[in-house]
Chain A
Amino acid sequence: MIWAAFALMTGAVVLAVLWPLGRARTAAARAPDVSFYRSQIEEIDRDLALGLLTQADADVAKAEAGRRLLRVSDEPIADGKSRGGARMAAVAALIAIPAVSLTLYLALGHPDLADLPLSTRVAERQGQSEVQSAVRKIEDHLAANPNDGRGWDILGPVYMKMGRYEDAARAFGNANRVLGDTPERLTAQGEALVYAAQEAVTPQAQEIFNKVLDMQPGHPVAYFYLALAREQSGDRAGAIEAYSQLAQGTPPDAPWQPVVRARIVALGGTPPAAQEGPKGETADAVRAMPSDEQRAMIRTMVDGLAARLDADGRDVEGWLRLLRSYKVLQENDLAKAALVKARNALNADPDGLSRVNALADELGLKS
């Protein structure tokens, strides 16, 4: 169907180009110039009649225009011959137009993708509008009772999912203000601030992550973002050191390990050997955490990433990170689902797509 439309369009274009070639014509290229100078002379007569020109001026002007008229009349007129050129042009157009347009379109377009107007997505939309109306209700409620900490606490993650990071940061902040700081909520707030600043760890976010570390030394998420902050501020050595600490100090199968190691490599450092036993302050702290708490924390990080990629899936690095994390968490089904999503989302990005596929092979995700 769509190919028929394409063929029709291409045909119309080729025809439009070929049409004039088939018609014999005689060119009188200079005729318009001649008529222009004639009209200029007529104009002078008219101006003279209206009294806008003196007779003397009119004579001079007419003489001048007359000279120009003679000049163009002398010029040769184009001939309408040389059919060979036309034949060549016809062949070129016939081949070049479909060739150029098809090659380029196949590289850029998605002929298999149907339109997706919102009206056809009733089911999806219903869920969405329910969420939205719920959010509006909570917002109204909170506008009247700004000290309802639980309300803010509920709203925070929802905003996060909707991609409204600044609002999320505000909501988490309010929840902390009312309910008191907890490392989880502070971390969520910090993360929201980072996303809101387009992944820049702002001074405000740094302050929050520092607070988390005060409350819970070695908190890996906070630690990670502070290391990222160092990286962003240009402190390469410091960042490598912080990342290495995190890599060494936490279990070798922790989901952030691939990311952290990738950062170290990207900064030109060598990641610490994986088999080295955990040591250092961070490691002690993480090891000291009950393992389900560790796991829960890891899950929050991964879920956040997944939600963000759902909202905007063009971040290749994000997908790679997510796939690795799921693999480490041994969530094979989730990993496979994410792989499908990633392939769809990166449809327009062949480079990213091949990287994702390569990683999938490496991780043994068959689909």
Chain B
Amino acid sequence: MIVEIGHYALVLALALAIVQGVAPLVGALRRDAALMAMAQPAAVMQFLLIGVSFAALTHAYVTSDFSVVNVFENSHSLKPLIYKYSGVWGNHEGSMLLWVLILALFGATVALFSRGMPDDLRALVLAVQSWLSAAFLLFVLLTSNPFARMIPAPIEGRDLNPLLQDPGLAIHPPLLYVGYVGFSITFSFAAAALISGRIDAAWARYVRPWTLIAWIFLTLGIAMGSYWAYYTLGWGGFWFWDPVENASLMPWLAGTALLHSAAVMEKRDALKIWTIFLAILAFSLSLLGTFLVRSGVLTSVHSFATDPQRGVFILGILIFFIGGSLALFALRASALKPGGIFAPVSREGALVLNNLLLTTSCATVFVGTLYPLALEAMTDEKISVGAPFFNLTFGPLFIPIVLAMPIGQMLAWKRGDLYGAAQRLTLACAIGFVGAVLLYAMRGGPIVPPVLAGLALYLIVGSFVEIWGRVSGGSSVGAMFSRAIGLPRSAWGTAIAHAGIGLTLFGLAATGWGVERIVTVKPNQPVVAGPYEIIVRGLEPRDGSNFRELVAHTDILEGGRLIATMDPSRRSFTTRTMVRTEAGIKTIGLGQVYMNIAEVRDDGSLDLRLYWKPYVALIWLGALVMALGGLLSLSDRRLRIGIAKRAATRVVAQPAE
């Protein structure tokens, strides 16, 4: 009964979504307050219904109800409990259910936390969001129904793909989805602004927190996904320029551009057309990613069983929403009043440059990802565009972004002083340069890693120069401290997020100093990797709940002294007859020793992949720091002022949170 209640809740959510898509829209156009007000309870209710549905499916997974086809195909009674939970979204149907759940979550959040927003804008945003929900609910129900039943029910399931039985998978897709789907709300805001024709600085303020939330989660999701690939795929790579990864990078780039152009729009009422366009673009790229992954146009670890019918459906959704919004866009764009003016050298100018570079680099990724598909469709010739292409195009475009970041922070709005900004950055430049030279002298090797590392140091230091400039005027340490506290949190957020990019860049640069060894060893035979000696002490077979594994107990020695141990293993999953290697990873300082057993030979010797990767942890730590910066910006008082003001005028006081 629970399964069927979940199914019914999903259908009911669709019916509700249709009502929610129509009534508030009509209300906003006819200025009917009562109709507009329908949007809020409907959005919350919609989220509850999809929540019930998701809970029902989860319940079916946890209780191993194999009468549900989706559970049968992706679960196993012996699967560890955590993967029974994560298995819910470790497959196509369940992940699409999660997708609509998050879609509805954003709708509900807007409904609940948007008191400081005009009623008509809120009603329109929720209506558009509900159109999205309705489209995807229809997609789930008609092409990917997770509640399809099967009688007689098999007694055992087919198990989840072992590559996906991993804690990383338990959190990576939800994070990424919150990011992807988060841009749906900025899209809804853009569409709402276009429908109502009210596109102004206030709009930019309302949309900013939502853009930030989406961006934070997308950042975390991408980082998490890259770390997951790093430790499960077993060859120590963390970014493959795989089309699916590109599909998540493109909305990130567009979203980052949006974040910056929305700041200009909010402060200066300029770049309005461009900002709206970016809001549409960011979500369009999210949708495109979904289409590419789910249609079977691309095959990768991420594409579950694919089906052309689904691809066509998503393509339809894609065309409807992107086409519709662009048509609205074309209709309204010409009617916009020009906003504030600014000189080329100014904060705005720097942000325009940032946007230009970000969208161009996004375009190169787009070309690299889709060119092979287009070429094949037209000439039947198959090519793959690999890492060299992306490194050669994306890299050179990203370097000027890095160079310009601290300068942009330093420039004033309207008209900036480039010479003064450069002067204040002397220290950062010097540190970057000296750092690069020192690293080159110490590490040797090719010139690129030290140069990138120098650039990263420049960025990290440069990000804080502006804050230091504001703080250092204090007469005492105490005064400086209170000044630092008094700075807007968004200023801190900017500096910290930029520094995060510097950290990631440093980690990427340091991959050039890594050591890779591919060796065949017998137990107790030491191998040197970088500054460490690695010794496999012995092999031990172990039984897991749904797999068997052979564990290699391994010691890591530095200068003859034992500093750490790790237990890489090879797992064989019986139900799917698959072998998966479980890499041994030990973080030492900011670097990692990475070991993978490629093969166990009959004579007991092992084929190993061994890596020493200095500073590699910075790649993901940098992403965490970026997200932290975003979080700080999000907590900035300015973003909450609308809420507080409005609350003060109400009888029941809202906490000014």
Contacts and interface: CB of A to CB of B under 8 A. Distances in A.
Nearest to B63: A117
B152 A57 contact: no
A312 B119 contact: no
Nearest to A79: B31
Nearest to B412: A57
A116 B16 contact: no
B19 A97 contact: yes
Most B Cβ at <10 Å: residue of A19, A29, A38, A86: A29
A91 B150 CA distance: 38
A39 B145 contact: no
Given A16-B44, A125-B155, A311-B154, A2 B641 contact: no
A162 B577 CA distance: 13
Which of the four size classes fits the interface of chain A?
35 or more
A100 B18 CA distance: 9
B1 A5 contact: yes
Interface in B166-189: none
Interface string B1-45: 111110111011011101110010011001111111110111011
Contacts of B156: 128, 162
Chain B residues touching A, majority SS: helix
A101 B486 CA distance: 54
A146 to B, nearest CB: 13
Interface in B573-626: 575, 577
A108 B5 CA distance: 13
A164 interface: yes
Interface string A123-159: 0110110000000000000000000000000000000
B498 interface: no
Interface string B55-75: 000001001111101000000
Given A109-B11, A167-B577, A312-B154, A37 B77 contact: no
Interface string A325-367: 0000000000000000100110110000000000000000000
Contacts of A127: 155
Given A27-B119, A128-B156, A101 B8 contact: yes
A257 B638 CA distance: 79
Question: Interface extent on B, as a size class?
Answer: 35 or more
B340 interface: yes
B39 to A, nearest CB: 8
A70 interface: no
Interface stretch (A7-15, A183-191, A207-215): A7-15
Nearest to B41: A16
Interface string A82-99: 110110010011001111
Contacts of B2: 115
A86 B24 CA distance: 10
B60 A29 contact: no
B38 A21 contact: yes
Contacts of B412: 57
Given A6-B8, A20-B37, A36 B642 contact: yes
A345 B150 contact: yes
17 contacts: A9-B5, A9-B9, A20-B34, A31-B649, A33-B200, A39-B641, A61-B413, A79-B31, A82-B32, A105-B7, A105-B11, A114-B1, A115-B1, A121-B155, A127-B155, A163-B158, A345-B150
- Top 10 A-B pairs, shortest CB-CB distance: A117-B63, A80-B33, A20-B37, A27-B33, A100-B15, A118-B64, A78-B31, A116-B67, A35-B645, A344-B151
